[in-house]
């Protein structure tokens, strides 16, 4: 621009000087013909100068206190105003665009702004017209705000459900699009309105997450016939393991929708618990009892001692076997538990009915280990020796009932 101005600095004074000389000559001339000739020469010189330099008459647009553009005609400003109205899409634009003043100037063609440039200049110099962004959800216009405001609110919503320390990507569940444009400042929604609209949008957040997950140990039972039924010992103490699991997680508004495993690595392998259980039947040889009933002895070998026999002076209905408190009491044969509970003088008591209709009774227990209705197998622990009910010391009161009548239990368990 400065170079072009330099042309005018040289050319315009030259033209003006020429015109002054002509005018002075014409003034001093006494001949009308001479004056006419000089006037023609002056005009030709002026036109020739303009043609030679490319300079022309134009208008500086004085708008809102400053020069905002150079137009070739006042109509060009009106054309630009029509363009602004079209860009903003609001006929109220006319009421906020100020009336410009035009200053005549001489300039080069290339210094004259095109209509779009003039329109942009009008927008940039009119506070009531602003650039903004329209928000569309599923194709419907829902808000319109300053671009920075809308962008900030949208990003804030999209990041709302990010998990700290994890790389997250997110998008809206709805189809959300934006479009930039020009608006009347008074038409823009405020931040609160934009936040309300945007906060109603659902956010789909995806992330890859790695977590350590506890792996519980299994319990493995090993049996041994070197130990009696009821023997139980933990040979190996179990320990939980840890797996490092990587998952792709999809959330909607912070609620997990799906987790897909993409990797799993063992950090610490679990140690399975090993439990040893005895299977040997106590006093199995004794079980070959009278009448081939096949009862086993109701207490572990070596724990007991007969303290009272059947039918002694007090009409004793069973056999008393003294044993330490807590000693296991075994079902002498398979059967169904028909009683397990408190039974007056018997204290805690279990009654088992066997398949042949016989019943066996186990009384004064410290603790019961079966329930009415249970089917128990031979050798299963059904109670623990105690001294509940009418009892003077820890012992098992054992009865055998055949056809509804008590019989001497001794032969059935090979005592006697």
The least distance separating Zn ion from the CB of residue 391, rounded to whole angstroms, comes to: 8
Kindly write out the interface string for residues 259-298 of this chain, putting x where it contacts Zn ion by CB under 5 A and - elsewhere: ----------------------------------------
Is 320 among the residues that bind Zn ion (CB under 5 A)?
yes
Q: How many residues bind Zn ion (CB under 5 A)?
A: 3
The least distance separating Zn ion from the CB of residue 395, rounded to whole angstroms, comes to: 7
Considering the complex, state which of residue 380 and residue 399 has its C-beta at the smaller distance from Zn ion: 399
The least distance separating Zn ion from the CB of residue 320, rounded to whole angstroms, comes to: 4
Considering the complex, state which of residue 189 and residue 399 has its C-beta at the smaller distance from Zn ion: 399
CA 73 remoteness from chain centre: 63
**Choices 74-82, 90-98, 209-217, 393-401 (CB under 5 A): range interacting with Zn ion:** 393-401
Q: Which residue is nearest to Zn ion (CB)?
A: 397
Considering the complex, state which of residue 22 and residue 299 has its C-beta at the smaller distance from Zn ion: 299
The least distance separating Zn ion from the CB of residue 363, rounded to whole angstroms, comes to: 7
The least distance separating Zn ion from the CB of residue 318, rounded to whole angstroms, comes to: 5
The least distance separating Zn ion from the CB of residue 298, rounded to whole angstroms, comes to: 13
The least distance separating Zn ion from the CB of residue 397, rounded to whole angstroms, comes to: 4
**Choices 92-100, 120-128, 244-252, 316-324 (CB under 5 A): range interacting with Zn ion:** 316-324
The least distance separating Zn ion from the CB of residue 286, rounded to whole angstroms, comes to: 20
Angle at the Cα of 131 (from 129 to 136), degrees rounded to 5?
A: 120
Question: Which residues on adjacent β-strands are paired with residue 165?
Answer: none
> What span, in angstroms and rounded, lies between the C-alpha atoms of 182 and 85?
10
> What span, in angstroms and rounded, lies between the C-alpha atoms of 334 and 351?
12
What's the burial of 351, exposed, middle or buried (CB within 10 Å: 0-12/13-18/19+)? buried
**Choices 170-178, 219-227, 251-259, 319-327 (CB under 5 A): range interacting with Zn ion:** 319-327
The least distance separating Zn ion from the CB of residue 346, rounded to whole angstroms, comes to: 9
**Choices 184-192, 226-234, 313-321, 375-383 (CB under 5 A): range interacting with Zn ion:** 313-321
> What span, in angstroms and rounded, lies between the C-alpha atoms of 331 and 346?
17
**Choices 125-133, 181-189, 298-306, 311-319 (CB under 5 A): range interacting with Zn ion:** 311-319
The least distance separating Zn ion from the CB of residue 386, rounded to whole angstroms, comes to: 13
**Choices 183-191, 211-219, 241-249, 397-405 (CB under 5 A): range interacting with Zn ion:** 397-405
The least distance separating Zn ion from the CB of residue 217, rounded to whole angstroms, comes to: 46
> What span, in angstroms and rounded, lies between the C-alpha atoms of 55 and 52?
8
**Choices 158-166, 186-194, 282-290, 390-398 (CB under 5 A): range interacting with Zn ion:** 390-398
Considering the complex, state which of residue 90 and residue 320 has its C-beta at the smaller distance from Zn ion: 320
Considering the complex, state which of residue 93 and residue 321 has its C-beta at the smaller distance from Zn ion: 321
**Choices 2-10, 129-137, 380-388, 394-402 (CB under 5 A): range interacting with Zn ion:** 394-402
Work out the end-to-end distance of the chain between its first and last CA atoms, rounded to an integer number of angstroms: 134
> What span, in angstroms and rounded, lies between the C-alpha atoms of 391 and 398?
13
> What span, in angstroms and rounded, lies between the C-alpha atoms of 132 and 148?
8
Considering the complex, state which of residue 182 and residue 346 has its C-beta at the smaller distance from Zn ion: 346
Is 397 among the residues that bind Zn ion (CB under 5 A)?
yes
Considering the complex, state which of residue 130 and residue 368 has its C-beta at the smaller distance from Zn ion: 368
Considering the complex, state which of residue 236 and residue 407 has its C-beta at the smaller distance from Zn ion: 407
Considering the complex, state which of residue 189 and residue 320 has its C-beta at the smaller distance from Zn ion: 320
Contact 121, 68 (CB under 8 A): yes
Alpha carbons within 13 A on the beta-carbon side of 101 = 4
What's the burial of 157, exposed, middle or buried (CB within 10 Å: 0-12/13-18/19+)? buried
Considering the complex, state which of residue 292 and residue 315 has its C-beta at the smaller distance from Zn ion: 315
Is 364 among the residues that bind Zn ion (CB under 5 A)?
no
The binding site for Zn ion (CB under 5 A) comprises: 318, 320, 397
């Amino acid at each position: 621009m400065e170079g072009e101005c330099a042309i005018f600095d040289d050319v315009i004074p030259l033209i003006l000087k020429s015109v002054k000389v002509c005018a002075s000559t014409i003034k001093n001339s006494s001949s009308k013909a001479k004056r006419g000739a000089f006037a023609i020469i002056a005009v030709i010189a002026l036109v020739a100068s303009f043609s030679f330099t490319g300079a022309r008459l134009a208008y500086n647009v004085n708008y809102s206190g400053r020069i905002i553009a150079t137009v070739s005609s006042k109509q060009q400003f009106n054309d630009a105003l029509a363009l602004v109205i079209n860009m903003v899409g609001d006929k109220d634009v006319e009421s906020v665009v100020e009336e410009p003043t035009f200053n005549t100037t001489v300039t080069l063609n290339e210094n004259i702004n095109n209509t779009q440039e003039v329109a942009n200049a009008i927008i940039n110099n009119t506070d009531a017209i602003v650039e903004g962004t329209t928000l569309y959800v599923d194709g419907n216009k829902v808000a319109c705000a300053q671009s920075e405001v809308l962008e900030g609110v949208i990003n804030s919503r999209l990041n709302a459900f990010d998990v700290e320390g994890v790389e997250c990507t997110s998008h809206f569940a709805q189809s959300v699009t934006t479009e930039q444009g020009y608006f009347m400042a008074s038409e823009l929604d405020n931040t609160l309105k934009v936040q309300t609209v945007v906060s109603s949008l659902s956010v789909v957040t995806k992330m890859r997450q790695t977590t350590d997950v506890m792996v519980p140990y299994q319990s493995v039972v090993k049996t041994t016939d070197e130990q009696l039924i009821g023997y139980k010992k933990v040979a190996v103490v179990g320990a939980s393991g840890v797996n490092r699991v990587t998952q792709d997680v999809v959330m909607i508004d912070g609620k997990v929708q799906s987790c897909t495993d993409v990797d799993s690595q063992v950090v610490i392998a679990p140690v399975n618990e090993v439990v040893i259980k005895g299977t040997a039947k106590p006093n199995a040889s004794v079980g070959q009892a009278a009448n081939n009933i096949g009862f086993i002895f109701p207490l572990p070998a070596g724990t007991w001692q007969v303290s009272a026999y059947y039918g002694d002076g007090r009409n004793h209905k069973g056999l008393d076997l003294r044993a330490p408190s807590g000693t296991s009491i075994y079902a002498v044969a398979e059967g169904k538990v028909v009683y397990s509970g408190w039974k007056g003088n018997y204290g805690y008591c279990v009654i088992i009915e066997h398949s042949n209709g016989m019943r066996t009774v186990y009384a004064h227990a410290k603790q019961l280990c079966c329930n009415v209705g249970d089917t128990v197998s031979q050798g299963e622990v059904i109670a623990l020796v105690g001294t509940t009910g009418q009892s003077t010391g820890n012992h098992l009161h054992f009865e055998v009932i055949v056809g509804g009548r008590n019989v001497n239990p001794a032969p059935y368990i090979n005592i006697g």
